[in-house]
Amino acid sequence: MKRSFIEAVIAVFNRAKNSLALLAVMVLALLTISLFYLFMSSKDLIADNIRHELLIEGKINSLSEDNYLAKLKNEDIQAYIADIQNIYKSLDEKYDTAYTMSMELNAENSEVFKLWALDSAMNASGYSLGESDYSEDNLKIFVKEGLNIGNQELKKGDKLSFFQNNGERLDFSIAGFFSYDERYSALGDNLYPDDVDLFADKEVLYAYGTYEDNLEMSNLYIYLKGSDNKEAIIKDVEGSLAALQEYDIEASFIIDESHVRAIEENIAGIGNLYLIFAFMMLILISILLLAFNLYDLRKRFREMGIFIALGNTKSELFLRLVIEKTILLLLAFIVVIPLFNILARQADILILDSLSSAYLQMQKTLDVSIMNMSLAGLSSLRSTEIKDLIFIYLSFAFMNYFYLALSYLGLCRQKTVSLLKD
Amino acid sequence: MMKEILQAFNIAYRVNDGKNVKVLFENCSLSFDAGKFYCLLGESGSGKTTFLHLLAGLDKPDKGHILYRGKDIQEIERNNYLRDHVSIIFQDYNLIPYMNVYQNIAAAMAIKKLPYTKESIAEMLKKVKLDTDIMFKRINLLSGGEKQRVAIVRALVGNNDIILADEPTGNLDSDTAKEIIALLKTAVYKQHKTLIVVSHSELVAESGDVVYILDQKIKGFVPKS
| Residues forming a β-bridge with A139 | A172
Is B38 within 8 Å of B212 (Cβ atoms)? yes
Residue of B79, B84, B96 with shortest CB distance to A303: B96
Residue of A302, A305, A311 with shortest CB distance to B79: A311
CB contacts, 8 Å: A300 with chain B: none
B111 at A interface, C-beta within 8 A: yes
Work out the average pLDDT over A123-149: 49
How far out from the chain centre does Cα B52 lie?
7
Which residues 6+ apart lie within 8 Å of B49 measured at CB? B91, B166, B167, B198
A239 at B interface, C-beta within 8 A: no
Is B15 a residue whose pLDDT tops 90?
no
Dist CA A275 CA A269 (whole Å): 10
Is A252 within 8 Å of A125 (Cβ atoms)? yes
Q: What is the pLDDT of residues A25-41, one digit of tens each?
A: 889 888 888 877 776 66
Q: What is the pLDDT of residue B32?
A: 92
Q: What is the pLDDT of residue A130?
A: 38
Q: What is the pLDDT of residue A331?
A: 93
pLDDT above 90 covers a percentage of chain A that reads: 7
Q: Choose among A296, A288, A275, A276: nearest CA to A399.
A: A288
Furthest CA-CA distance within chain A = 106
Dist CA B4 CA A342 (whole Å): 70
Size of interface A-B (CB pairs under 8 A): 60
Residue of A10, A303, A311 with shortest CB distance to B111: A311
Which residues 6+ apart lie within 8 Å of A358 measured at CB? A262, A263, A266
Average pLDDT, chain B: 87
Q: Do A309 and B88 touch (CB under 8 A)?
A: yes
Work out the average pLDDT over A200-207: 57
Is A327 a residue whose pLDDT tops 90?
yes
- In terms of Cβ atoms closer than 10 Å to its own Cβ (0-12, 13-18, 19+), residue B116 is middle
Write down all domains in chain B, each with its CATH number in brackets.
4-223 (3.40.50.300)
- Residue A227's identity, in one-letter code, is S
Dist CA A42 CA A278 (whole Å): 14
DSSP string, chain B: --SEEEEEEEEEEEEE-SS-EEEEEEEEEEEEETT-EEEEE--TTSSHHHHHHHHHTSS--SEEEEEETTEETTTS-HHHHHHHTEEEE-TT----TTSBHHHHHHHHHHHTT----HHHHHHHHHHTT--GGGGGSBGGGS-HHHHHHHHHHHHHSS--SEEEEESTTTTS-HHHHHHHHHHHHHHHHHHT-EEEEEES-HHHHHH-SEEEEEETTTTEEEE--
Q: What is the pLDDT of residue A93?
A: 58
Q: Give the closest-approach CA distance of A19 to chain B in angstroms.
A: 12
| Residues forming a β-bridge with B14 | B23
Q: What is the pLDDT of residue B2?
A: 57
Reported ipTM: 0.91
Is B5 a residue whose pLDDT tops 50?
yes
Dist CA A316 CA A170 (whole Å): 53
- Crossing angle of the two packed helices A314-366 and A16-60, in degrees rounded to 10: 40
A414 at B interface, C-beta within 8 A: no
Work out the average pLDDT over A192-203: 50
- Crossing angle of the two packed helices B174-191 and B144-156, in degrees rounded to 10: 10
Q: What is the pLDDT of residues B101-135, one digit of tens each?
A: 999 999 999 998 889 899 999 988 888 888 888 99
Residue count of chain A: 422
Q: A108-122, A269-283, A388-402, B84-98: which range is least confident on average?
A: A108-122
Residues A324-349, buried b or exposed e (16+ Cβ, 10 A)? bbbbbbebbbebbeeebeebbbebbb
- Residue B157's identity, in one-letter code, is V
Question: CA separation (Å) from A131 to A50, A114, A167, A383, B178?
Answer: 20, 11, 11, 30, 88
Dist CA A420 CA A408 (whole Å): 16
Q: What is the pLDDT of residue A374?
A: 33
Residue A301 belongs to what H/E stretch?
helix A301-310
Q: What is the pLDDT of residue A221?
A: 56
- In terms of Cβ atoms closer than 10 Å to its own Cβ (0-12, 13-18, 19+), residue B162 is buried
Q: What is the pLDDT of residue B119?
A: 92
How far out from the chain centre does Cα A83 lie?
35
Dist CA A245 CA B107 (whole Å): 74
Q: Give the closest-approach CA distance of B225 to chain A in angstroms.
A: 32
Residue A51 belongs to what H/E stretch?
helix A16-60
Q: A89-93, A282-286, A367-371: which range is least confident on average?
A: A367-371
- Residue A206's identity, in one-letter code, is Y
Is B60 a residue whose pLDDT tops 70?
yes
Dist CA B216 CA B139 (whole Å): 37
- In terms of Cβ atoms closer than 10 Å to its own Cβ (0-12, 13-18, 19+), residue A3 is middle
Q: What is the pLDDT of residue B207?
A: 85
pLDDT above 70 covers a percentage of chain B that reads: 99
Residue count of chain B: 225
In chain A, count H helices and then E strands.
12, 9
Q: What is the pLDDT of residue B150?
A: 92
Q: Choose among B181, B222, B175, B219: nearest CA to B199.
A: B181
- The DSSP symbol for A252 reads -
Q: Do B99 and A415 touch (CB under 8 A)?
A: no
Is B94 a residue whose pLDDT tops 80?
yes
Dist CA B49 CA B198 (whole Å): 7
B109 at A interface, C-beta within 8 A: no
Q: What is the pLDDT of residue A178?
A: 56
Q: A35-39, A158-162, A301-305, B163-167: which range is least confident on average?
A: A158-162
Q: Do A416 and B88 touch (CB under 8 A)?
A: no
Q: A103-117, A379-393, B190-204: which range is least confident on average?
A: A103-117
Dist CA A135 CA A109 (whole Å): 9
